């Protein structure tokens, strides 16, 4: 008899579809338009090396020691200044993904209802499936979540990505932000605002965050992964002090604290103005790559394939005619040397088979056109077979 008797929740952790996609998409010769990862050439390697040296000089062995669960004071103070809050309202996390998990630990009981957009970020679903959340989906369009579709019944938590949403790239406009918060206030619904892409705007900056509009009822999740480097695993949660205290208790049980040296490096980068320069540099690169991908889609995609130009972020969402199954097509696409992310992995309750997500940031520019050509050929065949 095996001694490994896994907890029942482990069955809710696994997503075999995502694991299979990752494995297939890493085949040699496959051009991946799938990955939601930053462009490695944007990472400020020399600046990080210099910040590492300065952190060790300034802090000595303290940079390598245990640190407060809430985070190092200089980094919390920097985040607080930029977000217009007190340092006590900031919890440093091991990436914003840990922030999602901590919110689940602290707020979700088995069977609690969580409102999510349709489609939504797959990582949030993975984090909260463990806590046996029940999902209520709200449809989205090119302007993000549709407030008129918000349910009358209250939910425990509402999860919103207002800025250049993953996977659609949509930006929630001013009026919709106010409508979402009016709905949440009226029903006493806690809002989790996930904003990994807010600094990656291609035109004007996004409207004010939900958290700034309703600090008592919104938890704001931010990250340094998309601007500085994901390998540092640094994110943060902003919220009322009593909530930050509860999240810190959960974090202490999970990992004691996020790595002190990485926090010290980020504090040095912040003091030197590197983070703001990184934001501008990354925006400029991603804007150019987005324009290139959109031009290639316009030139090569078969009739019936639709998309909305993103105004920031990292992704473009394609919608195909009903009856096309992008999950079933995925292996065929990989055989033709191109990978994408099928729509169903972004659906909390199933569906979205006729959609897919592309990225324009991490594919080398010299490969982008060939990747789009390969994908267009696969989709054209699928559409012809459907007809």
Domain extent listing, the chain = 14-36+277-385, 45-272
pLDDT value for 17: 62
Among candidate residues 289, 262, 310, the one with its CA nearest the CA of residue 367: 289
Where is average pLDDT lowest: 11-25, 62-76, 106-120? 11-25
- With 0-12 / 13-18 / 19 or more C-beta atoms within 10 angstroms meaning exposed / middle / buried, residue 178 is middle
Question: What's the whole-number mean pLDDT along residues 69-88?
Answer: 98
pLDDT value for 364: 86
Among candidate residues 80, 77, 73, 43, the one with its CA nearest the CA of residue 58: 73
- Whether 342 shows a pLDDT value over 90: the answer reads yes
**Domains 14-36+277-385 and 45-272 belong to one CATH topology:** no
Q: Please, where are the H alpha helices in 225-342? A: 241-255, 260-271, 274-300, 326-335
pLDDT value for 153: 86
How confident is the prediction for the chain on average, in pLDDT? 94
pLDDT value for 1: 67
pLDDT value for 36: 84
- Whether 347 shows a pLDDT value over 60: the answer reads yes
Give me the CATH code for the 45-272 domain, please. 3.40.640.10
For 31, phi then psi, to 5°, come to -85, 115
Q: 292 near 364, Cβ under 8 Å?
A: no
Q: 269 near 51, Cβ under 8 Å?
A: yes
Tokens read off for 40:
């490695």
pLDDT value for 9: 75
pLDDT value for 2: 73
Read off the pLDDT of residues 129-151 as tens digits, 9 standing for 90 and up: 999 999 999 999 999 999 999 99
pLDDT classification of 366: cutoffs 50, 70, 90: confident
- Considering the segment(s) 14-36+277-385 as one domain, its CATH architecture is Alpha-Beta Complex (3.90)
pLDDT value for 15: 62
pLDDT classification of 385: cutoffs 50, 70, 90: confident
How far is residue 295's CA from residue 299's CA, in Å, rounded to a whole number? 6
pLDDT value for 365: 84
- Whether 126 shows a pLDDT value over 80: the answer reads yes
How far is residue 289's CA from residue 54's CA, in Å, rounded to a whole number? 34
Read off the pLDDT of residues 151-205 as tens digits, 9 standing for 90 and up: 998 899 999 999 999 999 999 999 999 999 999 999 999 999 999 999 999 999 9
Global pTM reads: 0.95
Question: What's the whole-number mean pLDDT along residues 112-132?
Answer: 96
- Whether 306 shows a pLDDT value over 90: the answer reads yes
| CA distance from start to end of the chain | 54
pLDDT value for 23: 67
- Whether 231 shows a pLDDT value over 60: the answer reads yes
Read off the pLDDT of residues 6-44 as tens digits, 9 standing for 90 and up: 677 777 666 656 666 666 556 788 999 998 899 999 999
H or E stretch covering 45: helix 45-59
Q: Please report where in the chains the tokens 């559409």 appear, as a residue.
A: 383
Please, which residues have CB within 8 angstroms of residue 375's CB and are 6 or more apart in sequence? 33, 333, 338, 340, 358
Residues of the chain with pLDDT > 90: what percent?
Answer: 89
pLDDT value for 26: 67
Q: Please report where in the chains the tokens 């969580």 appear, as a residue.
A: 114
Asked whether the bond before 167 is cis by omega within 30 degrees of 0, the reply is yes
Q: 352 near 277, Cβ under 8 Å?
A: no
Residues of the chain with pLDDT > 70: what percent?
Answer: 95
């Amino acid at each position: 008899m095996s001694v490994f008797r896994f907890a029942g929740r482990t069955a809710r952790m696994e997503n075999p579809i995502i694991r299979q996609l990752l494995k297939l998409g890493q085949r040699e010769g496959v051009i991946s338009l799938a990955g939601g990862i930053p462009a490695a050439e944007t990472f400020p390697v020399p600046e990080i090396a210099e910040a590492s040296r300065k952190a060790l000089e300034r802090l000595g062995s303290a940079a390598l020691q245990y640190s407060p669960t809430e985070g190092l004071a200089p980094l919390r103070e920097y985040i607080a200044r930029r977000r217009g809050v007190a340092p006590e309202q900031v919890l440093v996390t091991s990436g914003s993904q840990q922030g999602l998990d901590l919110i689940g630990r602290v707020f979700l009981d088995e069977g609690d209802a969580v409102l999510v957009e349709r489609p939504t970020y797959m990582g949030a679903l993975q984090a909260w499936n463990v806590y046996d959340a029940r999902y209520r989906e709200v449809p989205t369009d090119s302007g993000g979540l549709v407030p008129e579709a918000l349910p009358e019944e209250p939910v425990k938590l509402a999860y919103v990505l207002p800025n250049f949403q993953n996977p659609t790239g949509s930006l929630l406009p001013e009026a919709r932000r106010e409508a979402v918060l009016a709905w949440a206030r009226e029903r006493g619904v806690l809002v989790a605002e996930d904003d990994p892409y807010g600094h990656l705007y291609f035109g004007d900056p996004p409207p004010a965050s939900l958290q700034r509009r309703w600090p008592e009822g919104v938890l704001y999740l931010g990250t340094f992964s998309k601007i500085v480097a994901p390998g540092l695993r640094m994110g943060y949660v902003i919220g009322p002090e009593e909530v930050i205290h509860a999240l810190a208790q959960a974090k202490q049980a999970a990992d004691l604290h996020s790595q002190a040296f990485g926090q010290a490096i980020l504090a040095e980068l912040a003091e030197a103005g590197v983070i703001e320069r990184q934001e501008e540099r990354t925006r400029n690169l991603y804007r150019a790559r987005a324009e290139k991908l959109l031009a290639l889609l316009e030139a090569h995609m078969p009739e019936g394939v639709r998309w909305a130009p993103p105004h920031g972020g990292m992704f473009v969402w394609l919608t195909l005619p009903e009856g096309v199954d992008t999950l079933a097509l995925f292996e065929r696409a990989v055989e033709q040397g191109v990978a994408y992310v099928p729509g169903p992995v972004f659906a909390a309750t199933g569906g979205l088979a006729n959609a897919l997500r592309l990225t324009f940031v991490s594919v080398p520019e010299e490969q982008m056109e060939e990747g789009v050509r390969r994908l267009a050929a696969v989709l054209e065949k699928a559409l012809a077979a459907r007809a």
